[in-house]
Structure 1
Amino acid sequence: MPEFPNIILYAIPFFVISIGLELYGSIKENKKSYETKDAVTSITMGLGNVLLGFISKGMVLVAFMMIYDNFRIFTIPFAWWSFILLLFADDFAYYWFHRISHQNRLFWASHVVHHSSQHYNLSTALRQTWSGGFYTFIFWLWLPLIGFHPGMILLQMSVSLLYQFWIHTEAIDKMPKWFEAIMNTPSHHRVHHGSNPLYLDRNHAGIFIIWDKLFGTFQPELKEEKVVYGLVTNINTHNPITVAFHEWVAMGRDVFSGKKSLGDRIKYIVKPPGWKHDGTGKSSTDLRNEWQESVGRSQSAVGSSQSAVGNEL
């Protein structure tokens, strides 16, 4: 097996320079896309993720190697075509990891970190989980099973993460139409970070937006619906510890406190964020449906008003 470099570590200077250039452009054009405390928090979360990654990636590598050495169905060689296959296979795995991370509270507890900023800039890309690396790798376990070497998989996972850095910006409006049709772009990913009901749980792509289009989760960015970044209920803190673990604490409180059946306690782990056993909670689907109904009522009222005016004339 050839030795693959840790490209994320090599990319750190690129991250720093890119953030500096975007910050300079933001100040020059008075866009106010950066807020100091928010950016520092994002960078701190990124550094914590890298440090914890030395432990979590070791665990992931062991798990992948156990499957590859003992249970693999095929042996996929180190060849140019195998890396192309892995590019799509890894991205397919990422799509389902990302989608389920918005639909299952256990996975949302780690992923919510990335959505906790109310700003959208390159520093937001660094706002990464401190806990997810220890268990979200289960979505990639099928790759060593079918014969991809663990080293190849870890390299491609890093490539995916590196690609997703540049799409966290408002400095780029739209890419060429052919690129927007196939690839994940800043416009597509801005939608994903929106707390607007229309944008909730949409555009889960890593590199290729085609998965969202195939599985019905695609939503284009609309000029008339400006993206509002952050969470439906923002945590309003810059404390990295709180950012990293606030949802774990909230989930633990829901699971272990109060009088609930065992089934309800389990549902607080597996149901979508916002679910409540007493029916008072609202998921992203509920919020989107309510919004669509309100828009429909508004359009109906406007239509009735225009019709009445027309009759009077």
Structure 2
Amino acid sequence: MQIPETPNLIHYAIPFFVITVILEVILTVKVKLDEYEFKDAGTSIAMGLGNVAIGLFTKGVVLSIFYIIYNFYHLFEISFVWWAWILLLFAEDFCYYWFHRISHESRLFWASHVVHHSSKKYNLSTALRQTWSGSFYTFIFWFPLILIGFHPVMVLVQMSISLIYQYWIHTEMIDKMPKWFEAIFNTPSHHRVHHATNPQYLDRNHAGVFIIWDRLFGSFEPEVEKPVYGLVSNIETYNPIKVAFIEWYNLLKDFFTTKTSIINRFKYLIKPPGWKHDGTSILSGDLRKEWEVKKKADV
């Protein structure tokens, strides 16, 4: 079987990203929504460009690792046929769901993913605000696809397709899609919830392409209240370097300087963001529970 070269779909999509961001700016001004914050958008674009530049290196590393695993062992021989791509669409999205969910539940993965949530605005430029460090280690969530027998090239292509799909859902210009579409696919409405800091929205709607995983695994929340975007504790900077690495600095600081047991030090890596060994934790799950209790009391 002749193996095709790996197309870098993100690079082909860059002109489309630029054009749509410009169109959104024009439409935002025209309908008199909140002013487009150009400093914030500039930071997002800088993060996106950095992600693409780093990806020139990491994509090769990841592909090599995938090949090593694939050549060592894979259960089935899955060829480049149409039905295999359909299977991979769902299988890759399932892996993405768990990667995304764990990235909110484990600080080690949150340290890279926090970048994407660091903007207090929600527009197409926010979609470009991508990690500079995550591609070095988050690929482990896609190992099962290689072991099943999907070719490494297929997996990388589908990962890019998923990322491109998720671009258009970063907007407030679209309210709701048709009900059948909202029931199956990730949409702007579902993803606005994911980026919100409202207590009922915290750590919800981790979908990539299909919202069905959130519905199946109990992490779905519909958009009702107007979302407030950003982080529970916002990163007050437009500096791309700080945005990219401030959580890594805070994580390593907690790990190396906190006066506690070695077990607790490692818990700073695996526990959710905000966890403290002394019981003073501010966890998103606790904030949500407080909201649920208050809601029941108000009924």
**TM-score range for the pair, normalised by the shorter chain length:** over 0.9
3-state SS of the aligned residue for 1:289?
Answer: helix
Greater mean alpha carbon deviation, residues 24-33 or residues 76-85:
24-33
Distance 2:272 2:6 in 1: 37
Equivalent residue for 2:240? 240
Q: Residue in 2 aligned with 1:120?
A: 122
Distance in 1 (CA, whole Å) between partners of 2:22 and 2:15 is 11
Determine helix, strand or coil for the equivalent of 1:141. helix
1:43 matched to which residue of 2?
A: 45
Q: Deviations over 1:179-230 (max 9, x none)?
A: 00000000000000001110000000000000000000000000xx110000
Q: Deviations over 1:107-158 (max 9, x none)?
A: 0000000000000000000000000000000000111111111011100000
Question: What SS class does the counterpart of residue 92 from structure 2 fall into?
Answer: helix
Within 5 A, what are the aligned runs for 1:87-236?
A: 87-222=89-224, 225-236=225-236
Aligned AA for 2:277? H
Q: Deviations over 1:60-83 (max 9, x none)?
A: 101100011111111101100000
Alignment equivalent of 2:20, drawn from 18, 21, 36: 18
- Mind listing any 5+ residue stretches in structure 1 that lack a counterpart? 300-313
Asked if 1:282 corresponds to 2:285, the answer is: no
1:38-77 to structure 2, matched below 5 A, reads 38-77=40-79
TM-score by length of 1: 0.93
TM value normalised by structure 2: 0.98
SS at match of 1:229: coil
Alignment of 1:286-305 (within 5 A): 286-299=286-299
Percent identical pairs in the alignment equals 66
Paired residues, number: 297
Residue 306 of structure 1: aligned partner:
none
Letter in 1 for 2:177: M
Letter in 1 for 2:233: T
**Which residue is equivalent to 1:304?**
none
Query: What's the CA shift for 1:33?
Result: 5.0
In the alignment, which residue of structure 2 is the partner of 1:259? 259
Correspondence for 2:29 among 27, 30, 39: 27
Q: CA deviation at 1:7?
A: 1.2
Amino acid at match of 2:49: L
Listed as ranges, the gaps of 5+ residues in structure 2 are none
Task: Write out aligned runs for 1:265-276 (5 A).
Answer: 265-276=265-276
Q: RMSD value over aligned CA atoms?
A: 0.9
Q: Which amino acid aligns with 2:262?
A: L
Q: Pairwise mapping of residues 300-311 of structure 1 onto structure 2 (< 5 A)?
A: none
Q: Which amino acid aligns with 2:289?
A: N
CA distance in 1, matches of 2:171, 2:198: 18
Tell me, in whole angstroms, the C-alpha distance in 2 between the residues paired with 1:215 and 1:105. 21
